[in-house]
Structure 1
Amino acid sequence: MTFREALNRGKLYLMECGIEEYELDAWLLFEHVTGINKAMYYVKDREELPEDQERKYQEMLHRRGEHIPLQHLTGVQEFMGYSFRVNGNVLIPRQDTEILVEDADAFCHVMEGQGRNIRILDLCTGSGCILLSLMKMDSHGSRSGIGSDLSEEALRIARENQKILEVSKEKAAFIKSDLFEEITGRFDMIVSNPPYIRTKEIEKLQEEVRLHDPFQALDGKEDGLYFYQRITERASDFLNDEGRLIFEIGYDQGEAVSAMMKDAGFDSVYVKKDLAGLDRVVGGVYNRAREN
């Protein structure tokens, strides 16, 4: 079987399996197995595909046809221009979350312009993609932070990503904690992409998400707001003066989370939309002077 025949059969197979982006997924799996890019493919497309690569490709196609996420098969997801290791123990980093990182990075630049060192807390860190991206984007050498998660399996992946991305332990530490339970000290910024799907809505999600993302990373309890409430209620105890709290939210949660933050004493609360025009980030500032 030639390179071209194998790829075309892969596209057809995934299409028949109901994979939405069957052409792209067939190519990405093909690229992962063979190690060739598209330029090399057009040179080699009529050559015979080595038998071991053909077997491996067929195996991965079969697993993708069972709606196992592409990223679980390749073990990698691109996020903020960096490659993150992922598996079934962490939520796959999504492009929507890049809005949160870009927002947090912009605020970091403001503080860095004031000559400040910045300490960041990332709650529900999962793969570590938010905290590690913010550390990699640190052009001033002024950032450090902690990522916490209740899942030891997720923390293992976060620490693996830390090594891959060469972020020192001095800049980022990952600890097991139920939100603030094991956290000490104060921070200039708290960021979080917590579980926010309503429990009853999880069964309606795509098979790739419903069956293969960790339930614990999806389940926001009955109304989807459980973790926002818990974090917002205690965030002020862990923020420095004019510290910022920034959440990723579901598309219909902007109003509720904004009200929650205002009730907890946060000022300048805002909602930011994603590229699809949907509410995606809520943030605010805590002014400690209001406590007096």
Structure 2
Amino acid sequence: MIEGLSHITLITCDLDRMSAIVTQVLDGREVYSSGDDTFSVAREKFFLVGGHWVAVMEGESLTTRTYNHIAFKIPPGTVEEYRRRAEALGLDIRESRPRVEGEGESLYFYDHDNHLFELHTGTLEERLERYRRGRLPERPMTTREQALRDLRRTLTEAGFETAGLDARLLLIAALGISPTDLITRPDAALSPAEAGRLAEFARRRLAHEPVARIVGEREFWGLPFRLSPETLVPRPDTETVIETALALIPDRQAPLTMADFGTGSGCILTALLHELPSARGLGIDRSLDALWTARLNAYMNGVGDRSLFVASDWASAVRGPFDLVASNPPYIASPEIPGLDREVREHDPLLALDGGPDGLDAYRILLSEAGRLLKPGGLMVLEIGYDQAEALRHLARDRGLEVLRVAHDLSGNPRCVALARP
């Protein structure tokens, strides 16, 4: 009698590339790698994916594509996140067949060996129950223009100041289209899957989840950055760090070394590497999830080959010295956390916000290590809170650092301090 599924074996011409798909898209955990010491017919790796054993073995790719496929269950509302992961690895997304209400959502994609994968939000029980109900009367199809208007009105009535922009961004993300496509095809009808995805996005926004969290991406320094629950949403004010650092670097073509402490999404490091074509950088964070996201963003923006990401509690695992150290550390005083805006308090990681009793804990750590982390003449550029400039001046001078400048953001508030090791 069959007792259950033993394992799934996939044959691939590129073991490393398939391993990246299993770990980065399918959330797999590697449990075995044969290396060249094989017990089977070829090199292989074993993974656990959702509790199932998936074997990946080196061999010849499938010659053609078929509809035979492997389907994995994913939570509701996560299809777009998995779509972004697949697209980041250059996988070929296959549009899902039309779905009926209550059937769940699916994401299909082909790998480089012509295997077809499905990621599905529903369960067998839900699908059987829906099929037992038969075909429901068809509803009038909603157009993009109608959906945009309805969502804008809903958000406006709920008191969102940026209702129009929010509605537009959510609709574009839910449909997976470009802003131009929305303008040129306003009368295109939403499929049931698209309508369901938009309804889910609207529900999350009405619960005060930030738009960037819902769509999973935010632009910074003109570059796209993916987000995760353990990364801050990049903010325009943080671009002051980039502007200040670049203004103090005399030769942007120089082979500089840099480190970004508390890298999060990697936006600071990636933006700097984008502007400094010969530089190499190190991103440091305590969160492995954040490091995975930062690495993905670096490769997505073309600087992955010049960046390295390390898990460390600040500088404990980092040697240096560097030409440039940059950071947007947690700088909100612990007693102020409960009074933060709801969208920040409930959705940004506390680890990236809480700077200790006076908000200066991270600065004390970084400045105490500056002599080791910076080369002579090296720069340290730190984002600060609007009322922390004077405190940072004193901390820096007490540790023998020169205060080069305090830079202000677009609102006129002090936003970062630039220091130098004499």
Q: Check if 1:166 corresponds to 2:307.
A: no
Q: CA deviation at 1:18?
A: 3.0
Contact (CA 8 Å) 1:188, 1:244: kept in 2 or not? yes
Computing the radius of gyration from Cα coordinates, the structure with the larger value is 2
Q: CA deviation at 1:264?
A: 1.1
Given the alignment, which residue of 2, 11, 17 partners 2:158? 17
Distance between the aligned counterparts of 2:326 and 2:183, measured in 1?
Answer: 44
Q: Match of 2:302, SS?
A: coil
- Structure 2 vs 1, CA of residues 105 and 211 (structure 1 numbering), >3 Å: closer, same or farther? same
Moved more, 194-203 or 14-23: 14-23
Q: CA deviation at 1:69?
A: 1.5
Contact (CA 8 Å) 1:195, 1:219: kept in 2 or not? yes
Residue aligning to 1:148: 284
Residue aligning to 2:416: 281
Q: Check if 1:123 corresponds to 2:258.
A: no
Contact (CA 8 Å) 2:295, 2:304: kept in 1 or not? no
Residue aligning to 2:331: 196
How many residue pairs match? The answer is 281
Given the alignment, which residue of 208, 220, 226 partners 1:79? 220
Distance between the aligned counterparts of 1:161 and 1:3, measured in 2?
Answer: 30
Distance between the aligned counterparts of 2:297 and 2:352, measured in 1?
Answer: 18
Please, what TM-score do these two structures have when normalized by structure 2? 0.64
Q: Match of 2:259, SS?
A: strand
Q: CA deviation at 1:181?
A: 0.2
Contact (CA 8 Å) 1:92, 1:213: kept in 2 or not? yes
Which string of whole-angstrom CA distances, capped at 9 and with x for unpartnered residues, describes residues 174-232 of structure 1?
A: 10111110001311111110000111111111111100100000000111111111111
Moved more, 36-45 or 8-17: 36-45
Please, what TM-score do these two structures have when normalized by structure 1? 0.91
1:162 corresponds to which letter in structure 2? A
Residue aligning to 1:92: 233
2:273 corresponds to which letter in structure 1? M
- Structure 2 vs 1, CA of residues 174 and 65 (structure 1 numbering), >3 Å: closer, same or farther? same
Identity of aligned residues (%): 36
Contact (CA 8 Å) 1:19, 1:67: kept in 2 or not? no
Distance between the aligned counterparts of 1:185 and 1:37, measured in 2?
Answer: 43
Q: Check if 1:270 corresponds to 2:405.
A: yes
Q: How does 1:165-184 map to 2 (within 5 A)?
A: 165-169=301-305, 171-184=306-319
Give me the CA root mean square deviation: 1.6
Given the alignment, which residue of 29, 33, 38 partners 2:174? 33
Given the alignment, which residue of 373, 381, 394 partners 1:259? 394
In structure 2, stretches of 5+ residues that fail to align are: 1-141
Distance between the aligned counterparts of 1:47 and 1:217, measured in 2?
Answer: 42
- Structure 2 vs 1, CA of residues 285 and 20 (structure 1 numbering), >3 Å: closer, same or farther? same
Moved more, 36-45 or 90-99: 36-45
Given the alignment, which residue of 333, 356, 377 partners 1:242? 377
Q: Looking at both structures, which has the greater relative contact order when contacts are Cα pairs under 8 Å and sequence separation is at least 6?
A: 1
Q: CA deviation at 1:133?
A: 1.0
Moved more, 32-41 or 18-27: 32-41
Q: Which has the higher helix share?
A: 1
In structure 1, stretches of 5+ residues that fail to align are: 288-292
